[in-house]
Chain A
Amino acid sequence: MRNIAGLLFAGGLAFLLLVLASYLPYGQTPMFLGDAILAHAPGEVHTANIVAAVLLAYRGIDTLGELSILFTAAAGVGLILGHRSLRSDSAGVNGAVNSEQHSGFITTRAVDLIMPLLMVVGFYIIFYGHVTPGGGFQGGVILATAFFLPVLVRPGTRIEHGVITLLEGLAGSGFILVGLWAMFYDQPFLQPIFDSFLGTGPLGSLWSAGSLPLLYLAVGLKVGSELAGLLVTVSEVPELSETNISDADDINRK
């Protein structure tokens, strides 16, 4: 019964969407904002990659909000999975460590070789984010993967969470502090700063976009540490076995 109702609802919604689709302006969407930004960005922000200009300069506070969302999610995941019903020493679940085997020699060595390479690629993508496609988000994901690969091939490795906590806290505050730095000069929050130190090189060179690369570095480190933290936290959860469902607080279940 519920399925039929659901199907009807989905069908109705699909019909509505299709009707709406017939109204959409195919191929001639007005791009007021886009065109204005395309015209202004090279002169105002000096980035060759205009998406980076939008992300860090024009809509910088969106990016800050997004970093906060990742932080919130990571904190929430940590707190939820930190519950004792999900720890390997709790009675209800088997140890995870025993159930997984270390990977073979070749995999382990290959990962050890690849990891520094990935780190370099990640940082390259972050630092050249304002010049070429890529940037803090993409580079951050690669950094997180580079950090996590050794854990993946050596299950049971204890990770020091402190490093991740420190990195995520400092990278996030770094982003905000760069924004507050502008306020210190009586400028609006997150106004890009151009001075001789940060460089005002020709468009398309590495030292051309003022404080934006700093912001992108903060974004990259933040995204990398949050995602690495997420992966590590989930990987530390032991396998839930079928027979030992935790009865910890289920005593009076019907």
Chain B
Amino acid sequence: MIWIVSIVVLVMLASAIAVLVLPNMIAAVAAASVVSLALAVLFALMKAPDVAMTEAAIGAGLSALLLAMGLKRLGLWQLED
């Protein structure tokens, strides 16, 4: 249990830093989605199924979709740079 939790927390923190430093915006949004996903896993491990479902659906899914659409509209949707 502790190992799973530690790995998930590490992944979460690493992608949180990635959100701030990755030069590519699409990658940053994807990293934010990974943060939410890791958070959802943590919530599930912490026996909070309702919150885990919500975080996965809203944080990792819907909000990432919203941000990605915004990115496209802002003209920052470039795969390579």
Contact = CB atoms under 8 A, between A and B. Distances in A.
A120 to B, nearest CB: 16
B53 A133 contact: yes
Nearest to B62: A141
Interface residues of B, number: 16
A111 interface: no
Residue of B61, B69, B73, B74 ringed by the most chain A CB atoms within 10 A: B73
Contacts of A160: none
Contact of B58 (A141, A234, A235, A237): A141
Interface residues of A, number: 24
A49 B50 CA distance: 9
Interface string B63-81: 0011001101111000000
Nearest to A100: B72
Contacts of B72: 239
A134 interface: yes
Nearest to A242: B75
B40 to A, nearest CB: 11
B61 A238 contact: no
A145 B53 contact: no
B56 to A, nearest CB: 9
A167 interface: no
B62 A227 contact: yes
Majority SS at the chain B contact face: helix
B55 to A, nearest CB: 10
Majority SS at the chain A contact face: helix
Contacts, number: 48
A179 interface: no
Given A49-B50, A133-B50, A138-B57, A234 B66 contact: yes
Contact of A51 (B50, B57, B61): B50
Interface string B41-64: 000000001100110011001100
Contacts of A49: 50
Contacts of B53: 133-134, 138
Nearest to A135: B50
A97 interface: no
Given A51-B50, A141-B62, A144-B62, A240 B75 contact: yes
Nearest to A51: B50
Nearest to B53: A138
Interface in A127-182: 133-135, 137-138, 141-142, 144-145
A234 B62 contact: no
A52 B62 CA distance: 22
Nearest to B77: A239
A142 B58 CA distance: 9
B24 to A, nearest CB: 17
Given A49-B50, A141-B62, A144-B62, 17 more contacts: A96-B73, A133-B50, A133-B53, A134-B50, A135-B50, A137-B54, A138-B54, A138-B57, A141-B58, A145-B62, A227-B62, A231-B62, A234-B69, A235-B69, A237-B73, A239-B73, A242-B75
Shortest 6 CB-CB contacts between residues of A and residues of B: A133-B49, A141-B57, A138-B53, A51-B50, A237-B73, A133-B50
